[in-house]
Structure 1
Amino acid sequence: MMGAEEPQAETTATLMETEAAEAGQVVRRLIAANEPAFAALATRLRANPPARIVTCARGSSDHASSYGKYLIETFIGIPVASAAPSVASVFAAPVAPGSALCIAVSQSGRSPDLLATVRAHQEAGAHVVAFVNDETSPLAVLADTCIGLKAGPERSVAATKSYIASLAAFVALVAGWSGDEALAEALAGLPDQLEQARTLDWSDAVTAFRDATNLFVIGRGYSFGIAQEAALKFKETCGLHAEAFSAAEVRHGPMAIVGEGFPILAFATSDTAGDSVREATAEFAERGARICLADAKGSGSLPALAGHPAIEPLLMVQSFYHMANALSLARGHDPDRPLYLKKVTETR
């Protein structure tokens, strides 16, 4: 646990902390404002299911798309691929025509390579759905269906509430499309759970990672995209090199460097994918690795809320953001202004 000289209450002054705390309110706004758009989209997709689904995003938005991939493939059954923006922006390669859904995810909606990719898929016949926070952006105008994330201004360079809003948008899309009542019910309860999740004490992880130089972040299934996001946040806010792995993939080459004292953060949902994470962390613990496990079944060192397995990762990342903010400050960084980074990255 953190000592008296490092209370978590001191972390509330940052924009990252304040904005992450707004996630519950953001999701409420997202659901209420976009209910008609989600309903119309679900009707369209049920009547004319696309032959292929492509996501287009970078950074945190791409990690949200990883989560969306698992959600769509497990509930809908249509394979989802991540578009490589350089195919359109650098190589100017055409997209083969056909029945397709292109889901673009962006906070700003202004990156040239993302826009080029979306246009290429749209010209090939894809229906473009944009999950975008800036509803005045070129992406919002270009989209056939625009879902405003309703996160409001996000001034910290580190995306938090807009990332969680993107995850929730995928839940709303899939719940409506699949007609799964349990998922829809879990989405309705998500805002309240997010507010509870941000109060959980993950200070053990601050102690574990304060002096780390490298670490692994492990997830599987629905939690893999959250592991990717956590690894990015360690890099950009804490100056800490972190790599994200599936609990299956980490047992191949990467496991060779896990030994005594090696730090690992793991996200285990309450389903069979979470069992895989629990098995991997147990194996690494036997080698003396320093494990911080957020486990929806309650067996980890970090508290985590249980619920629908598809919703649990959203709650875990909300708890993670609070911890990452505290860790950044403990390591002498400013989580709102990472070195060499800016809020909108306009890659080409």
Structure 2
Amino acid sequence: MTLTSREIDSQPVIWQQALDTLADRATARLTARGARVLVLGCGTSAFAAESFAALREQAGFGETDAAYASEPWPWRGYDLVVLLSRSGTTTEVVQAFDRIPAGVRTVAVTGVADSPVAERADDVLLLDFADEESVVQTRFPTTFLLLARAAFGDDVGGLPAQAAAALSQPLELDPAALSHFVYLGSGWTYGLAQEAALKIREAAQAWSESYPQLDYRHGPLAVAGDTSVVWIIGEEAPGIVDDIAVTGARVVTSTHDPLVELVQAQRLAVAIAEHRGLNPDTPRNLTRSIVLS
């Protein structure tokens, strides 16, 4: 079993620990009712930021924007900036502090207490128990989103048990029969779809894509074929499954909560990597944190 596999399998326990120990702190740090909020991250953290922004607005807590810390982002008079970085050392996230006007409150979500991101922020939501040794992130972003959903009022108390039950069952996809992996989402689950596809690319060097669910019919559907799997994270739109199935692709619809579906996607990424003889913990050309000279 690879390190990534062990970290994936640990998520039910990690999620329960987060709910038991950090739910109140997450509510105090992340809700900020009525405030205008910007959430920044890179890579996986950028996708988690997108999901967070959609969840917060949907819950009625106020305007929320997500942006890549590595890209120029316009300032719109935000009251709070949340900065996501598992390692707390990502150069673009550290540099983002220099662009935030004085007096604007900042909250860092990180796995490392004495990191540059944590030290520069006004407040910290520390997820050190969810940190990972693997280059490929799995439990850190899911734990953050679980806490965010709890803070916004979602009933997520049953998700650790649901994840444990899903992890106890074998995956029903054969990596040897597939060469093309597509994830679709809508609203807050589009960020999960992007993260799922990234896991396939990172861990397994395989062809993966992600799209907003209804936009998939606007062009990308043309590539699907009998070695494709198209996985819909969250509720499927009427007619979308039939439209995809005619291509010969295998369509997977959600049978679990979207966060648990992401865990299943992580498992598939590891299975593909192992089928290809790759180590999913140490993808080529990647490091645990992008630190620029």
Taking structure 2 as the reference length, the TM-score comes to: 0.89
1:34-113 residue pairs with structure 2 within 5 A?
34-41=22-29, 45-46=32-33, 49-50=34-35, 52-76=36-60, 78-86=62-70, 95=75, 98-113=77-92
1:169 paired with 2:147, answer yes
Give the structure 1 partner of residue 236 of structure 2: 275
Mind listing any 5+ residue stretches in structure 2 that lack a counterpart? none
C-alpha distance 205-343 of structure 1, shift in aligned 2 (>3 A): same
User: Percent identical across equivalent pairs?
Assistant: 24
In 2, the alpha carbon distance for the partners of 1:207 and 1:282 equals: 24
Aligned-partner residue type, residue 6 of structure 2: T
1:340 paired with 2:291, answer no
SS at match of 2:128: coil
In 1, the alpha carbon distance for the partners of 2:174 and 2:196 equals: 13
C-alpha distance 150-267 of structure 1, shift in aligned 2 (>3 A): farther
Alignment equivalent of 1:151, drawn from 129, 152, 159: 129
The structure with the largest helix share of the pair is 1
In 1, the alpha carbon distance for the partners of 2:42 and 2:62 equals: 22
Give the structure 1 partner of residue 195 of structure 2: 229
In 1, the alpha carbon distance for the partners of 2:241 and 2:174 equals: 15
1:1-348 residue pairs with structure 2 within 5 A?
13-41=1-29, 45-46=32-33, 49-50=34-35, 52-76=36-60, 78-86=62-70, 95=75, 98-121=77-100, 123-175=101-153, 183=154, 186-209=155-178, 212=179, 214-258=180-224, 260-261=225-226, 263-269=228-234, 274-276=235-237, 279-288=239-248, 290-296=249-255, 305=256, 312-347=257-292
In 2, the alpha carbon distance for the partners of 1:205 and 1:221 equals: 29
Deviation at 1:190?
Answer: 2.1
The structure with more radius of gyration: 1
C-alpha distance 275-198 of structure 1, shift in aligned 2 (>3 A): same
C-alpha distance 275-94 of structure 1, shift in aligned 2 (>3 A): closer
In 2, the alpha carbon distance for the partners of 1:343 and 1:35 equals: 27
Mind listing any 5+ residue stretches in structure 1 that lack a counterpart? 1-12, 176-182, 297-304, 306-311
In 1, the alpha carbon distance for the partners of 2:214 and 2:268 equals: 26
Deviation at 1:280?
Answer: 2.2
**Conserved? CA contact 2:183–2:233, under 8 Å:** no
**Conserved? CA contact 1:328–1:335, under 8 Å:** yes
C-alpha distance 124-263 of structure 1, shift in aligned 2 (>3 A): farther
Deviation at 1:171?
Answer: 1.3
Aligned-partner residue type, residue 238 of structure 1: A
In 2, the alpha carbon distance for the partners of 1:141 and 1:14 equals: 32
In 1, the alpha carbon distance for the partners of 2:292 and 2:250 equals: 36
C-alpha distance 83-224 of structure 1, shift in aligned 2 (>3 A): closer
C-alpha distance 279-69 of structure 1, shift in aligned 2 (>3 A): farther
In 2, the alpha carbon distance for the partners of 1:85 and 1:268 equals: 26
Which range moves more in the overlay, 136-145 or 30-39? 30-39
C-alpha distance 347-241 of structure 1, shift in aligned 2 (>3 A): farther
In 2, the alpha carbon distance for the partners of 1:205 and 1:217 equals: 17
Q: What number of residue pairs does the alignment pair up? A: 293
SS at match of 2:253: strand
C-alpha distance 45-320 of structure 1, shift in aligned 2 (>3 A): same
In 1, the alpha carbon distance for the partners of 2:78 and 2:84 equals: 20
C-alpha distance 169-139 of structure 1, shift in aligned 2 (>3 A): farther
C-alpha distance 157-41 of structure 1, shift in aligned 2 (>3 A): closer
Deviation at 1:206?
Answer: 2.5
Taking structure 1 as the reference length, the TM-score comes to: 0.76
In 1, the alpha carbon distance for the partners of 2:68 and 2:272 equals: 33
**Conserved? CA contact 2:245–2:251, under 8 Å:** no
**Conserved? CA contact 1:149–1:169, under 8 Å:** no
RMSD of aligned residue pairs (Cα, Å): 2.4
SS at match of 2:129: coil
C-alpha distance 113-205 of structure 1, shift in aligned 2 (>3 A): same
Which range moves more in the overlay, 336-345 or 146-155? 146-155
In 2, the alpha carbon distance for the partners of 1:99 and 1:54 equals: 6
